[in-house]
């Protein structure tokens, strides 16, 4: 998959797609299964994590949204499509950008906090 295939799925800005890509990668796990010779590490997000992202965006947007992926993991294009159709459909660009930005700040900030605490030689000021 390349950027040309992914960006048309999301009707948002390239910055919004990039932030969703970073969120996806922060939540993603690699699989040991090899589907073909080219994809040695298919990256997916567990269904529970997709559902939590959808719920978090619903809270940010103050709307009740749910998503049931049937327990199937999602690739990035599926993740992006789910966010677009479940949470951002019908929202104007500035509202969607703000919601994605807030979601990005929440998730990536938490990841960075965990990494900084685990980095050897890093001093933590109490």
C-beta of residue 41 within 8 angstroms of C-beta of residue 35:
no
d(CA 39, CA 35): 7
For residue 5, the model assigns a pLDDT of: 44
Q: Which residues pair with 43 in a beta bridge?
A: 30
Q: Residue 30: pLDDT band by 50, 70, 90 thresholds?
A: low
Average pLDDT of the residues of the chain = 77
Question: Residue 77: in which H helix or E strand, if any?
Answer: helix 76-82
Q: Domains of the chain: which residue ranges?
A: 39-103
Most confident of 67-71, 94-98, 110-114: 94-98
Q: Is the dihedral of CA 67, 72, 75, 81 positive or negative?
A: negative
- Count the Cβ atoms, other than its own, within 10 Å of residue 48: 12
φ and ψ at 43, to 5 degrees? -100, 130
């Amino acid at each position: 998959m390349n950027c040309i295939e992914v960006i048309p799925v999301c009707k948002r800005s390239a910055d919004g797609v990039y932030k969703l890509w970073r969120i996806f990668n922060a939540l993603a796990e690699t699989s040991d299964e090899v589907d073909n010779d080219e994809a040695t590490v298919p990256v997916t997000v567990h269904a529970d994590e997709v559902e939590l992202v959808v719920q978090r965006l619903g809270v940010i947007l103050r709307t009740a949204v749910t998503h049931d992926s049937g327990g199937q993991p999602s690739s990035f294009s599926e993740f992006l499509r789910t966010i677009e159709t479940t949470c951002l459909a019908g929202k104007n660009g500035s509202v969607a950008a703000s919601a994605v930005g807030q979601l990005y700040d929440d998730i990536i900030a938490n990841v960075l906090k965990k990494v900084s605490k685990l980095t050897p030689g890093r001093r933590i000021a109490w």
